[in-house]
Each structure stands twice: as C-alpha cells, then as structure tokens.
Amino acid sequence: MIVAVLLLAVLALSLYFDVVRARQQYEELATAVARSIFRQLLIVREWTSRHGGVYVPKTEDLDRTPDLRELSEDVFTKDGRGLTRIHPEYMTKLIADIMNDEDRIRIDVTSSKLTSMANAPDPWERGALDRIERGSEEESAIVGRDRSTTFRYMAPLKTEESCLGCHGKQGYRVGDVRGGLAISFSYSPFQKALRKNETQIYLVHLLFLAIGLAMVYFFGTKLINGIVRLQEALSRVKTLEGLLPICASCKKIRLAEADPRNQESWIPVESFIGERTDAQFSHGFCPECLKRLYNWEYRK
C-alpha cells in the first residue's frame, strides 16, 4: 500500500506539471502568432511612414472615418481620378478591418496621448500600455471563458525619425514609446488542441498507473507470500525446538493441546516433522529391527 500510494503521488505530480507545461506551450504558441502579426504590421507601417504615406483612389469607404486619415493634399491624376494620402495609422485601420472580417483578428492602436478618441484604450489595454511605458517589451493575457476566450497581445510602438512629422508636435523624440499596437483573436482553436493534448496526457498517466499498480500487486503478493512462508517455517522450527510429547514405545508424537486419550491425537514422528519442515523421509529397517521383526541375520 505504501508503494502504491508513493506511485500515485509521483504520477499525480507528473500529471500536474505536464498539464501546466502543455498550457504554457499553447500560450507561447499564441504569443508567437500575435508577435508575427505585430511584426508584419510594423513593417507595413514603417514602409508607409518612410514614404510619407500612400496615395490611393478616393472611395466612399475611405470617407467613412475621416478622423483616422489626414485630409492634406488630395491629388488628381491626368485622367481626373482623385487620390488621397493614407498615413500609417489609417493604413493600420484599413488592414485591421480586412483581418477582422476574414480572420476575426482585431487590431487597435492606442496611446496615452490620443490624437483621436477612436483609439482610446479599454481597461486591459490601459493596464498593458502602462506597463509598456514603464519598460515592458510586450504584454499578453487570456481573457474570458469557454468559446468567448480571447488572447490579447500588445507591443510598443516606438518613435522613429519618419514619425516626427506627425508626432513631433506631441513632444515625442526618436526612441520614445508613443503607444502600443494591440492584437486580439479567439483562443478557442488553441483550447481545442490543448484539450486533445491534455486527454492524451491523462490517458498516458492512467496507463502508467494501471501498469504500476499491477506490478506492485504482483511483486508485492510474491513478497508477502514469501514472508508468510518464512514466518510459518520459523514457527515450525520454534515448535520443533519445544517440548514434544512422544510415545516411549511407538515414538508417535501427540499434537499440541490434543486429548492424550484419543488415538487420533498421536501421529507418526515423520508426519509431524514433515508438516512443519521441508524434511522428507525414506523408509528402511535398522539391523536390530530386521532381527526382531523378520529373524534375519544381519551380515556385513
């Protein structure tokens, strides 16, 4: 029982650490996905900022959120088509709309110094932004439960030379953290894969527990039986070392605490010893008995 309890404790600890490690691995995987999206958006923003924005044809979709785009210098092509300039923040918004519609990935750009109330941080973003402004390289968390579980990620947006044209008037200098880029997506696919992995972990540990308990039972039973046989042997040796009531004529031994007047209480000496030890007996006659019983002359 002690060995079985120790085996159960070891497997329980192993199960706990394996489940924790699996959850950490899937959280790290989600972080890697968010980090990759952040890096791609950062490259697009940097390229757009270095080129002073991108001119695209004017459409109704662009006019729906005029507070997110600069309204400076719309231009016209030779054939009369109007073009408007898209700056990095608005480029991020346009890309975020596509990713949200197709992949359910939400992207927000927020800051402690807002240029638009549309970029105001929510409670989680406010806390993450505060930690980033104090030096954190990135922030992540899993919020919600069940199907509404969401993975949230934020990394800092640092001021570069090409950013000073728009953000220099806010007091930022090159290298300053001027905000954060927040990425959110459903964590349900990761949870589904995690549950499958956890099921495998549970089954493996149950299999090892069953095998371990079977081995403990098998070898423990053999050990206990060996101890019992040893104890019985020691008990028999102890019995043989005691005072034995033996018949002075036929040499039969009376069983312990048996009625001496009952003939069945007396058994042959070889039966008595054979039942209590591993000794075996062969039968023959000594010379005296041969002469007495069969009147045979004993000769060398």
Name, of 8-17, 103-112, 151-160, the range with top average pLDDT: 8-17
pTM of the model: 0.64
- Tens of pLDDT, residue by residue over 109-151, are 888 776 666 678 888 888 988 898 888 889 999 998 777 889 9
pLDDT at 208: 93
SS (H, E, C) the chain: CHHHHHHHHHHHHHHHHHHHHHHHHHHHHHHHHHHHHHHHHHHHHHHHHHCCCEEEECCHHHHCCHHHCCCCCCEECCCCCEEEEECHHHHHHHHHHHHHHHHCEEEEEECCCCCCHHHCCCHHHHHHHHHHHCCCCCEEEEECCHHHCEEEEEEEEECCHHHHHHHHHHCCCCCCEEEEEEEEEECHHHHHHHHHHHHHHHHHHHHHHHHHHHHHHHHHHHHHHHHHHHHHHHHHHHHHHCCCCECCCCCCEECCCCCCCCHHHEECHHHHHHHHCCCCCCCCCCHHHHHHHHCCCCCC
- Tens of pLDDT, residue by residue over 233-250, are 777 665 555 677 888 888
Mean pLDDT calculated for residue range 252-274:
84
User: Which has the higher per-residue pLDDT, 193 or 108?
Assistant: 193
The full set of domain ranges for the chain reads 2-195, 244-300
pLDDT at 237: 61
